[in-house]
Amino acid sequence: MGCIDRPAGLHSPSLVNLAVDAIRKRILSGELEPGERLIEERLTRHLDISRPPLREALRLLENEGLIVTLNHPGMSGDSVLWEGWSHVIEHL
């Protein structure tokens, strides 16, 4: 399992920051394919965190332009996608 390393100490990063870093690393390494749907349940298991910090991490990554959240009528929840480098390059 790919649990987040949680450093101990007074100034350890938050779970949100650790999740952002872990997901960003998976995107930049190519582990996540462009257009791949990011499924919260899988990410929470992979990162060993609950949904609230994961959702905040996804929101931050969306603000960075690394992922896009699509709301489809008739579907439960949003689809979160890593769209690929063409999307990132457009925003540089």
Q: Is residue 21 part of a domain?
A: yes
> Is the model's pTM score more than 0.75?
no
**Can you tell me the mean pLDDT for 65-91?**
58
**Residue 64: inside a domain, yes or no?**
yes
State whether residue 89 is helix, strand or coil.
helix
71 neighbors 78 (Cβ within 8 angstroms): yes
Domain of residue 25 covers 15-90
Number of Cβ within a 10 Å radius of residue 88: 15
| Residue 70 structure tokens | 């699509």
CATH number for the domain spanning 69: value is 1.10.10.10
Evaluate whether residue 72 is within a structural domain. yes
Tens digits of residue pLDDT in 22-56 = 999 988 888 888 888 888 899 999 999 999 999 99
Q: How many domains does the chain have?
A: 1
Asked if residue 10 has pLDDT above 60, the reply is no
